[in-house]
Structure 1
Amino acid sequence: MWRSEARSASMRTFTQTLAACAMMLTGACSNADVQPIFSNGADIPAAGPRNSATVVSVFSDYRCGHCRAFHAVLEDFRRDNPDVRIVYRDWPVLGAQSEQAARWAIASAMQGRHAAFHDALMTTPTEMSASDMSQAAKRAGLDTDRLHRDLDMRRGAISATLRDTDALARSYGLQGTPGIVIGKLVIPGAIDRAALDKAVAVAFNQSSNEIEMN
């Protein structure tokens, strides 16, 4: 549905609300189009086709209230736009419990259950106790024995992924969660569904224009 809107979108139609929180990648972010090499890291959890023309990367912390609010918006968008790729960047900025939750989330992807676990964590009490996370893992259908093995055996790879995500977020100029990157748009903070639709349309339009120019 958004594809037809995207072709007619332009920066002039970008709403003031979205324009206030979106910025073009310039200055310190000039190299942000170049993807970092995750030679020693775990795979980054994602949903949607790998060859999608539009990729939405979300930097989030499971204890972040605004991240939880945006999660509902993103899930609604994902259901309506299965051809858009969503990349989940676990960026724990709120302490040790956030980091533990992020590690569990990355490990859950090794079982192909990240989407279910991500959703379960986003609705788990923000204290993120061990019991809370164990219950979330069970709700997501995870093999908890394997989860703990992966957390132990892939500890180094998971740590590398977290470091890479932190470096990438900072290269975009993000200072907190959530952070949303769509094409060359960087949006610090949560947005509503209407703003997300507009951001995707603008990013798609920019990408199409660049392809035509080349």
Structure 2
Amino acid sequence: MILRHAAPALLGLSLIAGSAQALDLSQLTDAEKQQFGEQVREYLLENPEVIIEAINILEQRNAVEEAQADKELVASNADELFNDGYSWVGGNPDGDITLVEFMDYRCGYCRRAVPEVASLLAEDGNIRLVIKEFPILGDASMISSRFAVAAKHVAGDDAYKQVHDALLEFTGEPSPVTLRRISDGLGLDSDAILAAMDSEQVTEEIQKTRELAQRMQISGTPSFVLGSEMLRGYLKADQMQQIANAVRAEQG
């Protein structure tokens, strides 16, 4: 019967197309539907690799679509990502591409990313770095970010970088006592920084970054934007370097 031989082909088309519309069962009688189901089951049991192939194709298609959607998010939010006027800028300020990092001081993977980012910047030498304070792991995260941003407002970019690095190494609970100890150890004006933590300017900066992250559909840390590419999660330096090279090649 034609149906017997058509079932595997129709099934394959349906799976690869990823849509029920590719196979219209409404045109079959009840008996033909039953027979078709039996033939599909038999075919899949004999050829389970067809399911794996279809899943792989679907995953590849979804990955391409997600990557394109991320590129569009980066393009539509480029000004706030790369030149917001308040986020700390490091690496090579004149680099040909920019790496943006959304980070949280209480995030273990953010801490693991520190040497990877440092290695990337040192080895490449032509990457501009922008740090986005994105405290999402509770009150301790928010307190730490407020302290870092306040240090920048009170004492400038160099002080911010010192505090930023210290907080990424700090394993205790951020309190007025422990934060004062950190800033005193760095020779900073602890009273002024602690007083500025709850200022409207600090609050506004953190809120703007949070709103940007929401638009970028970022829900975890670390999250990176490297040139036109969104990198959702922790990556090693060599992986980021490969992406940087691909971005440069794409830019021509």
Same fold (TM over 0.5): yes
Which letter maps to 2:233?
Answer: G
Larger radius of gyration: 2
Question: What does residue 142 of structure 1 align with?
Answer: 188
Q: Which of 216, 221, 230 in structure 2 is aligned with 1:186?
A: 230
For these two proteins, the number of residue pairs brought into alignment is: 185
2:160 counterpart of 1:117? no
The 3 A distance-change label for structure 1 pair 81 and 28 is closer
* Overall identity of the aligned pairs, in %: 22
Question: What does residue 246 of structure 2 align with?
Answer: 202
Structure 2 length normalisation: TM-score? 0.64
For residues 234 and 227 of structure 2, the distance between their equivalents in structure 1, rounded to whole angstroms, comes to: 17
2:105 counterpart of 1:62? yes
Higher helix proportion: 2
The 3 A distance-change label for structure 1 pair 190 and 139 is farther
* Superposed displacement of residue 201, structure 1: 1.6
Superposed CA RMSD: 2.7
2:206 counterpart of 1:162? yes
Question: What does residue 151 of structure 2 align with?
Answer: 108
4+ residue runs over 4 A deviation: 26-30
* Superposed displacement of residue 137, structure 1: 2.4
Structure 1 length normalisation: TM-score? 0.75
For residues 114 and 168 of structure 2, the distance between their equivalents in structure 1, rounded to whole angstroms, comes to: 7
Question: What does residue 12 of structure 1 align with?
Answer: none
Higher relative contact order (CA 8 A, sep 6+): 1
After TM superposition, the structure 1 stretch with the greater mean CA deviation from structure 2, 109-118 or 86-95, is 109-118
The 3 A distance-change label for structure 1 pair 167 and 101 is same
* Superposed displacement of residue 121, structure 1: 0.5
Return 5+ residue gaps in structure 1 as ranges: 1-15, 210-214
Contact 2:74 2:229 in 1 (8 A): no
* Superposed displacement of residue 94, structure 1: 0.6
For residues 33 and 79 of structure 1, the distance between their equivalents in structure 2, rounded to whole angstroms, comes to: 25
Return 5+ residue gaps in structure 2 as ranges: 1-59
After TM superposition, the structure 1 stretch with the greater mean CA deviation from structure 2, 159-168 or 142-151, is 142-151
Question: What does residue 31 of structure 1 align with?
Answer: 76
The 3 A distance-change label for structure 1 pair 83 and 131 is farther
After TM superposition, the structure 1 stretch with the greater mean CA deviation from structure 2, 123-132 or 99-108, is 123-132
